[in-house]
Structure 1
Amino acid sequence: MRSSWSFRRYGGEIKSVTEDFKDRIGPNMFKGMLLNKFPVAVKELIASIDARKFRTAVLKIGGIHHKNLVQLEGYCCESNHRFLVYEYVKNGSLEKYIDDSALCKELTWRKRVDICLSVAQAINYLHSECREFISHGNLKCENVMLDENLKAKVSECGFAIVDGEAVYCAFSAQRDIADFGMLVLTLLTGCRDQSDLCEWSYKESIEGNAANVIDKRIEGGANSNELERVLRIAFWCLQSDERRRPSMEEVVAVLEGTLSIDLPPPPF
């Protein structure tokens, strides 16, 4: 890690940073190396994005810092290029681990609970601890990265491309809270098909069969008390009546074990 940080604007050196975009690590994403040997991930965006709106969107989120957020290091806004420069996170996305049967075995029950807590802490920071409220707007497994110790860092917060334009996400906290609930269910079950995931897992839970929803690839199974607590907070987050949903601060407290909650009514 570097001893100091500064958000900066990049120019033509993006090509040399990525060695002519030779190491693709994801859709429109390339690994790069700064002159100080600090690795970065460079995301290419469509060139037609309005320059002024792009800069406005990027600068709104360029100064936020949290251990559980992937740091936006800088950007490039040249005449026909738009890039975002992120901190490089070694192990890639949570999605990759869930979809790969071999990698998934590394996601023990303890790791999964820790990931839920880390993501909750990151979103709570955006909602409550920044100078102004920031919504993530697109929280999902693809945007949760895992470092060398499989600790979670949330990526691409507060920024979206809508109709070819860069915009600062102005979604409500409620969208993030519901997205978090679905992410938790996906992580616990290992199921990427979300069509009836909430209904099925809730039914199993209220019938006393919560253990049935756990990803069978988790060696050693799950701690039953933790499982009940994590499922309950997920169901509260997914309540169709937004007024019933907890704040992210309350979500963090539940996952830390300092706040007790009852089983909610059906969330659908």
Structure 2
Amino acid sequence: MNLLSCFSLLLIMWVLSNTLFSAIIDARSEPPISVPSISEQFFVAERIPSSQFPVKMEAEPPGEPEIRVVHHHDLNEKILIALIVASSLLGGILLFLLFFWIYRQKKLKYSNKKSRKSLEAAKGISMNPIMVKFNPLRTANRKGSLAIFDYPSLEAATNNFQESNHLGEGGCGHIYKAHFDEKLLAAVKRIDGVTQDTAKEFEIEVNWLSKIHHQNIIKLFGYCIYGDSRFLVYEMMEKGSLETQLHGPTQGSALTWHLRMKIAVDVARGLEYLHEHSHPPVVHRDIKSSNILLDSNFNAKLSDFGLAVTSGTENNNFKLSGTMDYVAPEYLLDGKLTDKSDVYAFGVVLLELLTGRKPLENLAPAQCLSIVTWAMPQLTDRSKLPKIVDPVIRNMMDLKHLYQVAAVAVLCVQTEPSYRPLITDILHSLIPLVPNERGGSLRVTEPRALSLLQEYKRLCQ
């Protein structure tokens, strides 16, 4: 209630109170009227001869006041009614103000809970609040269970979001290292100045990650809503993003050929789960090297599900989103979005792993060259293929394995979506290139892998 409303209400109360009490005062100040007693009336009548009374009463002359008799019990009754009305009115107003104050207090106190309910209502997500002290063992074995952190606990875990705990940026937010106790180390993404788009992406990410559980998809421990800020608490990925490893200070020196193939297989496994085994199927819509995170053993996990949509959704209802370097041509030109859009982005990531180059290279001011445009002519020429491989891994692989990766990459980035393979075929083609101890088989005998090689040979002709 603003100041003008309060003033108006008080003015009405003042006017009503003055009116009622003025009526009471006027009623009490009315002078009493003397009424002759019965004996006086009798003697007066006796002194007047009966002959003086005409048979027919004459009309009273004009101008004489009419005398009304007001009894004391009528006056008291009016005063009592006025008092009852005044007290009832004032009591009602006071009760209204009291209830309105209580309502306002509750609204302020539970403003954050209203935002959380919108998350819980999204397709029946069950989020059990675990405040302040977070126990990962309580939620690790319960699907759809997320912790709701309070802001002071996040402040304490990140040392008030000190720069020394800053890990980087991602998904329109800053990421901080957080120590909740001696056993739990996590990463907190902080999104400040939330807009309508970022708030929607926040809800989508919480929605999907509360339901998706896979070894190659990032684990979300919980979230926090505090004023205009949003916080997401993830498992810690010690090696950072694939983008940092490939294009950061180390320039991919820590990534051997087998490690790169293992990362490609991990990403393919995560996408296969989304496309083939999730109910409903999911299109990630933002596959890129910065959204592929690596743990201490270089196990890769997909992150940043803020743009994810259900596969088969009519895409007229959402605007073009994603990173342009990885966006499939049909999505960019016509807005068509399918699981093959993720396959195209995967092909760009595979080219990054193979060549060590960024998806978009700046050749000159206002002139850029995409990795797809640069690599395609050389990928289909076996004599040129070894020359475009990242120097860090150039002498680490068998040429047959190199041809296999080139075949997968070429097919993934085809302009026509129907020419691109399914992610399951890609996975079966790459698994033989990874050692057994890293989850592969290190052999090229899979029927699906051989079919991709045959298709690659056709494109090379």
Same fold (TM over 0.5): yes
Q: Which has the higher strand share?
A: 1
Q: Which runs of 4+ in 1 moved over 6 A?
A: 264-267
| 1:120 maps onto 2:268 in alignment | yes
1:216-255 maps to which residues of 2 (within 5 A)? 216-218=391-393, 220-255=395-430
Q: Which has the larger radius of gyration?
A: 2
Per-residue deviation, 1:133: 1.4
Please give the alpha-carbon distance, in whole angstroms, between the structure 2 residues aligned to 1:56 and 1:207: 43
Q: How many pairs are equivalent?
A: 259
Instruction: Return the match for 1:173 from 339, 351, 355.
Output: 339
Distance 1:79 1:158, change over 3 A: closer
Does the 8 A contact of 1:188 with 1:215 survive in 2? yes
- Offset, 1:229: 1.0
Q: Distance in 1 between matches of 2:387 and 2:421?
A: 26
1:201-233 deviation digits (Å, cap 9, x = unpaired): 232232222111210122633221111111111
Task: Confirm whether residue 95 of structure 1 aligns to residue 243 of structure 2.
Answer: yes
Cα distance in 2 for partners of 1:15, 1:70 equals 23
| Structure 1 residues 47-69: Cα deviation after superposition (integer angstroms, max 9, x where no partner) | 33459844354123322111111
Do the aligned partners of 1:135 and 1:157 also contact (CA within 8 Å) in 2?
no
What's the % identity of the aligned pairs?
Answer: 27
Question: Is residue 223–residue 231 contact of structure 2 (8 Å, CA) maintained in 1?
Answer: yes
Matched residue type, 1:76: C
Scaled by the length of structure 1, the TM-score of the pair is: 0.86
Give me the CA root mean square deviation: 2.6
Task: For residues 129-173 of structure 1, give each alpha carbon's deviation from its aligned partner in whole angstroms, at most 9, with x where no partner exists.
Answer: 11211222211111111211222122213547x99xxxxxx9531
Q: Which residue of 2 aligns with 1:19?
A: 159
Q: Residue 134 of structure 1 corresponds to which residue in structure 2?
A: 282
Task: Indicate how the Cα distance of structure 1 residues 216 and 34 shifts in structure 2: closer, same or farther if over 3 A, else same.
Answer: same
Shift of 1:266: 6.6
Q: Deviations over 1:185-209 (max 9, x none)?
A: 0111000143242233232232222
Change (3 A) 1:200 1:222: farther
Higher relative contact order (CA 8 A, sep 6+): 1
Is the contact made by 2:204 and 2:306 (CA closer than 8 Å) also made in structure 1? no
Separation in 1, partners of 2:185, 2:302: 18
Equivalent pair of 1:62/1:72 in contact (CA under 8 Å): yes
Distance 1:179 1:192 in 2: 13
Number of the residue aligned with 1:203: 377
Distance in 2 (CA, whole Å) between partners of 1:206 and 1:56 is 40
Instruction: Provide the rounded CA distance (Å) in 1 between the counterparts of 2:233 and 2:192.
Output: 15
Which 10-residue stretch deviates more, 231-240 or 150-159? 150-159
Q: 1:14 to 1:101 in 2, by over 3 A?
A: closer
1:110 aligns with 2:249: no
Report the TM-score when normalising by structure 2: 0.52
User: Paired residue for 1:186, among 352, 355, 364?
Assistant: 352
- Larger deviation, residues 97-106 vs 131-140: 97-106
Matching residue's letter, 2:400: N
C-alpha change, 1:231 and 1:247, in structure 2 (3 Å) is same
Does residue 1:41 correspond to 2:187, yes or no? yes
Q: Which runs of 5+ in 2 are unaligned?
A: 1-135, 309-317, 320-335, 361-368, 433-445
Equivalent residue for 2:133? none
Aligned residue for 2:216, secondary structure, equals: coil
Distance (Å, rounded) in 1 between the aligned partners of 2:337 and 2:283: 6
Q: Secondary structure at the match of 2:346?
A: helix
Counterpart contact for 2:289–2:349, Cα < 8 Å:
yes
Retained in 2: the 8 A contact 1:49–1:82?
A: no
Quick check: 2:175–2:190 contact (8 Å CA) kept in 1?
yes
- 1:263 alignment partner in structure 2: 456
